[in-house]
Amino acid sequence: MGASKLLLNLGSHDSFSFYIDEASPVGPEQPETVQNFVSVFGTVAKKLMRKWLATQTMNFTGQLGAGIRYFDLRISTKPRDPDNELYFAHGLFSAKVNEGLEEINAFLTDHHKEVVFLDFNHFYGMQKYHHEKLVQMLKDIYGNKMCPAIFAQEVSLKYLWEKDYQVLVFYHSPVALEVPFLWPGQMMPAPWANTTDPEKLIQFLQASITERRKKGSFFISQVVLTPKASTVVKGVASGLRETITERALPAMMQWVRTQKPGESGINIVTADFVELGDFISTVIKLNYVFEEGEANT
């Protein structure tokens, strides 16, 4: 990728869900029906839930090594936890937040020219002091690697390399307005199709890009299908990957191949099970095609 622009980046949906703790309680954001299901069926229910909640198989280091640079992060406290620990969470709890952030930092320390986007977009059961704890954690782990919030159009690899910045933190909470290194969540919009139908997803993605104006933000295209309750019941033992993602992959990849990066095109593309098919190599290739086109104009 050229030094002048941040073009097209790869992202993972529910990036932390490669690890789901089946021994943990159900997340506080889950509806009462799910809470009741787990209270009746216990461990069996959690094992089935895991098949539908895990959207990645590679850990953070594996994802980084494969080319993922955008991470979709959802943070929660555990009910009645005396330590007030912060966890990644998606239905069930995942790893401790500090462990995941440290893992990403280790990669950045070894690769000085790499830049990541950390998108903290959901918070569950968090009070003011939990946010303060998370902000302090980010300071302690990333320190001067974090780029303070500026206009999105001003961000280029050249600028980041000159300043030795490697981390852009997006924070979907009013807390972002009080902390210079937190970018407001609205600068990282991620329209969600909420469908199991690949055709409807592609129509939604295309419409989102068509509507994308130069409004000074980054932009996420979620190439992600979301199961309905009926889908889960039908494929309860199979899980998300087998029932939905693998079957829909060819149609979704065909759409990705036809896209162009740039201010009026795609910017960050996220997917479930990012290692499937040729998702990663296809998105990386689009950057080179775009740069060749720019060079010839």
Q: Would you please indicate which residues are annotated as catalytic (active-site) residues?
A: 13, 90
Q: Compute the distance between CA of residue 253 and CA of residue 223 in angstroms, rounded to an integer.
A: 9
Number of other CB atoms surrounding residue 109 within 10 Å: 10
Residue 48, CB-side half-sphere exposure with 13 Å CA sphere: 14
Question: CB neighbours of 273 closer than 8 A, spacing ≥ 6?
Answer: 55, 56, 57, 241, 245
Could you identify the residue written with the tokens 């280029």? Answer: 156
Number of other CB atoms surrounding residue 83 within 10 Å: 8
Q: Compute the distance between CA of residue 60 and CA of residue 294 in angstroms, rounded to an integer.
A: 33
The DSSP H or E segment spanning 60 is helix 60-66
Q: What ranges make up the beta strands (E) of 107-203? A: 116-124, 167-171, 182-184
Number of other CB atoms surrounding residue 276 within 10 Å: 16
Number of other CB atoms surrounding residue 69 within 10 Å: 17
> How would you class 283 by CB atoms within 10 Å of its CB: exposed for 0-12, middle for 13-18, buried for 19 or more?
buried
